[in-house]
Structure 1
C-alpha cells in the first residue's frame, strides 16, 4: 500500500514538473532574458517607402524614407541632404538617388528637408540633422535598420551641412562616413570673403553675422576647422571648373584630411562645373557604396 502511495506521489510530481517545463517553454518567447536580438529579427522584409515622415516641429522637418528589402538591424543608413544655397531646395531632388541606393545596394536611404536661411541661421540646420538621427534611433526597432551605422551624402549646400555635422556636431559618434559633392569647406579665405560678393551675403545670412562683425562665426561654420585624427571617412567629389564653389575648397580639405590620417578619397573631374554636367556619376555612387558596405 505504501509503495502504491509513493508511486502515485512520484507520478504527480513528474506531472507537475512536466507541466511547469511546458509552461516555461511556452512563455520563453516573452522572456526578455532568454530571447536574443537575432531571434526577433524578421526575415524577408519587403521594401517600403515612407513619405513626409515628421522628425521635428517645423514644417520643413520632414523626410522621405526608402527601406530596402531583406533589411535587418545591421542595414546601414544613408541620409541625403539637398543643395540650394541654404535658402531653397527640396528633398524631392535627392529622392531618385535615395531610391537607387535602397533598391540597388540594400542601403536604407533617407532624403530630408531642413530649415532654410534667412529665417533660420546656424546651428538650426545642425539641430535638424540631429533630429533626423534621433528619429532613426527611435524608429530603429520598427524600421529594422541600424542605429549606429549612419552616413551622410550632400550636394553643394547640403554637402557643406553634411561635412559640418559629421566633423563638428556628431557628439554621439553615429556618423561613420560622409560624401560631399561640390561642397564648400572653408569660408575664412580671401577667395570667399573678398572676391565673391554673393558668398559674402549668403554666409552672412547663414551665420547671422558679416565677417567683419564676427569672423569666428564664419570659422565655426567651416568644416575645415573641425578636422582631426578622429574625423570620419570622407569622399570628396569636385569639378575643377566649378565657378560657384572653388575647386580649391575640396583640395584644401583633402590635404588636411590626409595630414590627419583620415581615410579620404578625392574624385576630381576636369570639367562639369558646379552641376557635374557630362560627368559619369556612377564612379561617385560606386565609391559611396563601397565606403558604406565595406565598413
Structure 2
C-alpha cells in the first residue's frame, strides 16, 4: 500500500533546475513589501492544522495585474507534500518570471477525515487569503492551477464547482475525473479501492457525481489542459478521454494528450513534450 500511495505523488522531473533564492520560514510584514523586488515566504499558515500551510513566490516588478499559479500536489488525498511540486515551481520561475506562485499543502485524509469537502475548503481558504492580501502583495485575483494526480482532481473540482470566475486555466496531470466510471466502480484492486474508499464506502451515485469534475464541469468552466498515461494502473485512460469528450461537448477550450506507453507519470521525451505543451497553454491563458 505504501508504494501505491507513493505513486500518487507528483511526476518525477529529471531536468536540472535552479532555485531563485532562499526564503524565510515565516511571513514577513507584508505592509512594507517593495513590489519592485522578488519576495518569497515559506509555510504561511492559513489554519490551525500543521498541513494548512503554503509557500508564496512573488516576482519582481509585479503589479495588480500579476497572476498567480496555484500548485496542488498529489498523494492519493492521504499523503504527499508541497515539496513534491518544487521542480514544477522552478520551471515556472524559469520560464514565467512574471507569474506569482502559491505552492500549497492541504489537510490529508484518513479514515476519520474525508478528502471532501475538507481539501476543497482548504483551497478556498488559500484563495480567500490571497484575495484579502492582494493589495499588500501587489497581485491580481486571477489564478491558474497545475495539479498532479489527486492534486489534479482537486484542481479540476475546485475550478469547475467552487470558483467565482477568477480561474483562467487549470491543468490536470494524471488526475481522476469521474468516480462513477465503471473502471473504478468495478475495479478488483484492493489497494486502489482503499484509496477510493477515503471518499466514501458504498456511496450514493449522487455523491460520486458531486466529487467528480466530469459531473461538475459547465460551459463556463476555465480552459483545461489534460495529460494522461495509457498504461496508468491507478487512473484509467477513460478518466482522461471522457473528460476530454465532455469538454468538447461543452465547447470549453482545452487540450488533451495521451501518452500510450506511459504510466502514472513519465520522464524523457514525454516529459519534455508535457512541459512544451503546458508552457504554450500558460502563455495563452495566464501569462
Asked if TM exceeds 0.5, the reply is: yes
What is the CA deviation profile of residues 192-225 of structure 1, one whole-angstrom value per residue up to 9, with x for unaligned ones? 011233333222212xx223x4332222111100
1:135 and 2:129 equivalent? yes
Evaluate the alpha carbon distance shift between residue 99 and residue 45 of structure 1 in structure 2; reply closer, same or farther with a 3 A threshold.
Answer: farther
Which residue pairs with 1:93 in the alignment?
84
- 1:252-284 Cα deviation digits (max 9, x unpaired): 100110111000101221223102133443333
Q: Is contact 1:76–1:292 with CA below 8 Å preserved after alignment?
A: no
Does 2:170 align with 1:166? Answer: no
- 1:143-162 equivalences under 5 Å are 143-147=137-141, 149-162=142-155
Secondary structure (helix, strand or coil) at the match of 1:185 reads coil
Kindly name which structure, 1 or 2, has the bigger radius of gyration based on alpha carbons: 1
1:242 matched to 2:232? The reply is yes
| 2:107 aligned residue | 115
Q: TM-score, normalised by structure 2?
A: 0.81
Report whether the alignment pairs 1:191 with 2:167: no
Contact map agreement 2:259 2:270 (CA 8 A) in 1: no
- Match of 2:255, SS? strand
1:44 Cα deviation after fit: 7.0
Q: Write the deviation string for residues 87-114 of structure 1: whole angstroms up to 9, x where unpaired.
A: 1000011122113313431211111000
Deviations 1:33-62 (A, max 9, x none): xxxxxxxxx987222221001122322110
Where relative contact order (Cα < 8 A, 6+ residues apart) is larger, the structure is 2
Aligned to 1:124: 118
Alignment of 1:1-295 (within 5 A): 45-106=36-97, 107-118=99-110, 119-121=112-114, 122-147=116-141, 149-170=142-163, 172-195=164-187, 196-206=189-199, 209-211=200-202, 213-295=203-285
Q: Secondary structure at the match of 2:54?
A: strand
Structure 1 unaligned residues grouped into runs of 5+: 1-41
Partner SS state of residue 127, structure 2: helix
1:120 aligned counterpart, secondary structure = coil
Gaps of 5+ in 2: 1-32
Q: How large is the Cα RMSD of the aligned pairs?
A: 1.8
Please give the secondary structure, in 2, of the residue aligned with 1:294: helix
CA contact under 8 A between 1:185 and 1:249: conserved in structure 2?
Answer: yes
Q: Matched residues in 2 for 1:144 and 1:280: separation?
A: 36
The two structures have a TM-score, normalised by structure 1, of 0.79
